């Protein structure tokens, strides 16, 4: 089913990463810049992430002896230093997720580069290392993102959805490894209801939501893919859901042959396999288009679906 599985370390069948995007209340300030600070209930829901969920998540990782990746907007790094300390004490990767969850597709190249660089500095100052990976806020990967990532020396991106296995984003500035995910492994469609964020889903039971992720993982295990959970502390770090996550990690470990690792290690392994010729990835040249794709009007009247 997968034409070119990666040779995973120690003969593992598949790789898996549980990634958390710790957006905290950056989302609400971005969505409602005029009156965000009056939306106390919404803010409290999102602060649950750094205040309550992150320590719980890191504790569970410690219990299982695993290291994982947190994508954190730089504004949240400054706002919630204790949560970041907890991640770093646990030995986890803190990766780039924008400054305040701004939208790169709505910015020009220069503006995107400015926030990218400003956040790199904050991450470097806090963690002692430049970030190796980036996930676009809300998957808003722009036509400039890949080039800018290559320019800034990023090893990997975690925003795109183009394959079941890692592949390469090729730009005129160099290559970036893509560690893909998709909406099916994101926790918002399963669990998030927020009028403040204009996102209203019928909330599933914790078990039903996690069942979706378990099926996605099992398929990757079967065929040698890469499972990447795109989760959020305020959402999947809630108690009942977290109990189900513990069961999912147990399921992964019981199945065996699973390489659970931080994204930077997965990307470094993929790069090594590409360099030594043991893995031939698919290559996407970005940007996909340099001009607008438009439909030519038919007979001067334009095309209509009913005609
Ligand atoms: Zn996010």
20: phi then psi, degrees, rounded to nearest 5 = -115, 130
Token pair, residue 296, equals 């030519």
Q: Are 137 and 98 in contact (CB under 8 A)?
A: yes
Quote the ligand 1 centre to 38 CA distance (angstroms).
22
**DSSP class of 13:** S
User: What is the tens place of the pLDDT at every residue in 231-289?
Assistant: 999 999 999 999 999 999 999 999 999 999 999 999 999 999 999 999 999 999 999 99
Cβ-Cβ contacts under 8 Å for 51 (sequence gap 6 or more) = 80, 83
Q: Name the strand (E) or helix (H) holding 69.
A: strand 69-72
In terms of DSSP H, where are the helices of the chain? 26-31, 40-48, 54-64, 74-79, 81-89, 109-127, 145-151, 188-191, 206-223, 233-236, 239-255, 263-275
Which of 70, 67, 32 lies closest to 49, judged by CA? 70
pLDDT digits (tens, 9 = 90+) for 190-215: 999 999 999 999 999 999 999 999 99
Ligand 1 center to residue 136 CA distance, Å? 8
Residues above pLDDT 70, as percent of the chain: 96
Residue written as token pair 């296995």: 165
**pTM of the prediction?**
0.95
pLDDT tens, 111-156? 999 999 999 999 999 999 999 999 999 999 999 999 999 999 999 9
Using CA atoms, how far apart are residues 41 and 305, in angstroms rounded to an integer?
Answer: 44
Distance 254 CA to ligand 1 centre (A): 31
What is the DSSP pairing of strand 199-200 with strand 193-194?
Answer: antiparallel
**Cα 202 to ligand 1 centre (Å):** 20
Ligand 1 centre and the CA of 295: distance in Å?
33
How many angstroms does the Cα of residue 137 sit away from the middle of ligand 1? 5
Using DSSP's 3-state secondary structure scheme, residue 7 falls into: coil
Reported confidence tier of residue 307, pLDDT bands at 50, 70, 90 = very low
> Residues within 5 Å of ion ligand 1 by Cβ?
21, 23
Does residue 302 carry a pLDDT above 80?
Answer: no
Under DSSP, is residue 18 helix (H, G, I), strand (E, B) or coil?
Answer: strand
């Amino acid at each position: 089913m997968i034409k070119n599985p990666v040779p995973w370390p120690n003969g593992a069948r598949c790789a898996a990463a549980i990634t958390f995007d710790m957006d905290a209340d950056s989302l609400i300030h971005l969505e409602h810049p005029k009156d965000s600070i009056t939306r106390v209930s919404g803010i409290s829901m999102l602060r649950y992430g750094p205040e309550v969920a992150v320590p719980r998540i890191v504790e569970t990782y410690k219990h299982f002896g695993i290291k994982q990746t947190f994508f954190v907007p730089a504004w949240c790094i400054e706002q919630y230093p204790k949560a970041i300390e907890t991640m770093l004490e646990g030995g986890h990767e803190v990766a780039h997720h924008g400054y305040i969850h701004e939208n790169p597709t709505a910015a020009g190249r220069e503006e995107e580069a400015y926030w990218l660089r400003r956040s790199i500095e904050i991450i470097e100052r806090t963690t002692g290392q430049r970030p190796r990976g980036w996930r676009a806020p809300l998957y808003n990967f722009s036509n400039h993102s890949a080039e800018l990532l290559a320019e800034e020396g990023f090893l990997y991106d975690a925003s795109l959805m183009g394959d079941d296995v890692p592949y390469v984003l090729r730009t005129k500035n160099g290559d970036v490894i893509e560690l893909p995910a998709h909406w099916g492994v994101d926790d918002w469609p399963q669990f998030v209801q927020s009028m403040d964020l204009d996102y209203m889903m019928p909330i599933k039971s914790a078990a039903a939501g996690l069942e979706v992720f378990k099926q996605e993982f099992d398929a990757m295990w079967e065929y040698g893919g890469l499972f990447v959970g795109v989760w959020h502390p305020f959402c999947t770090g809630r108690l009942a859901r977290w109990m189900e996550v513990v069961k999912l990690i147990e399921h992964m470990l019981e199945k065996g042959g699973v390489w659970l690792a931080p994204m930077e290690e997965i990307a470094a392994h993929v790069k090594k396999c590409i360099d030594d010729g043991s893995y031939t990835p698919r290559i996407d040249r970005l940007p996909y288009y340099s001009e607008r794709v438009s439909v030519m009007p038919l007979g001067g009247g334009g095309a209509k679906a009913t005609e």
